[in-house]
Amino acid sequence: MTDEHPFARLNPDFIIDAVESSGLFSDARILELNSYENRVYQIGIEDADPVIAKFYRPDRWNIDQISEEHSFTQELYDHGLSVVAPLQINCSPWFRYKDFIVALFPRKGGRAPPIDDLNCLEVLGRFIGRMHNVGAAQPFQHRPNISTIEYGEQSRTFLLENKFIPLELEAAYESVTEHLIAMVNDRFSQTQVTSLRLHADCHMGNVLWRDEQPHFVDFDDARSGPAIQDLWMLLSGDETSRQQQMQSILKGYRDFRSFNPAELSLIEPLRTLRMMHHAAWLARRWDDPAFPRAFPFFNSQKFWSDHILELREQWAAIEAPSIALID
């Protein structure tokens, strides 16, 4: 019996053996890529382009949920959208090696999108509008919805029950999160939302820009929710900048799909849920040695004080008027 983390087994020999079990032959070149939830490597292949090997975190997603991620990306690809879908290995987008589920992807290059270019944002809007047309065609059967229960209530409960919040800050954390969860629930109950299949982690880090077009990667967090979830994380800067950016995104989006402007009022509630969920995600993964190395600031008195302050600021953000669109 060992307390060793499952990912500790992923030494170079194990990784190469896993890839070669698919029928490919590695030239033994391995480059670890920045990924914490899963483990992702670029693997050199003899007489061929490198592949990206993704080792899924054990016990996070079940095989039906992973299969839905893969089928969704393949569906998007089949509709002419530039997403990175997994390679078919023996007629399957995934395979098992020892205790891991593994998927191999083609390597795709690109650079960060020019986020200060409003024309770029309009192009991104067109792409997401097309993606949402595909996402709305049918629901996920196995992957979850974005919900206050998972992102808010369960995050809060985990942190409190596992004593991550310093004792002297517990009362403040309990109070602010209880109030915010109620506010978020109220806002969702007041807003008519159509749920569809989403990328759901649609920020600039998951977009590669090449040949003046976006190429979307990492559908690991794909789930169902409102369209605005795939739009708001593309915004940055002050209120005026965000308004201009959203205007450009929706200009492109509406070329392919209608958008309910009432969903703009969900931006700050969704941001609040993401903030709560992110803190709990770090806590849940703290036994993985990669996390203390990558996030050394986490779980300090200052971290939790700042987190509570940021959550308090969300009260006003939720109550403030949402982004106004110019007709």
CA dist., res. 51 & res. 45, Å (int): 7
CB of 84 closer than 8 Å to CB of 206: no
CA dist., res. 304 & res. 294, Å (int): 17
The total number of residues written for the chain in this structure: 327
Return the number of other C-beta atoms located less than 10 Å from residue 57's C-beta.
18
Q: Which of 109, 6, 4 is nearest to 55 (CA)?
A: 6
Q: How far is CA 42 from CA 95, 103, 147, 247, 256, in A?
A: 17, 12, 34, 37, 35
Tokens of 187: 């806002």
Please identify every residue annotated as catalytic.
201, 218
Q: List, in sequence order, every residue forming a beta bridge with 51; answer none if it has no partner.
A: 43, 106
Q: How far is CA 60 from CA 37, 46, 65, 106, 263, in A?
A: 9, 32, 10, 24, 29
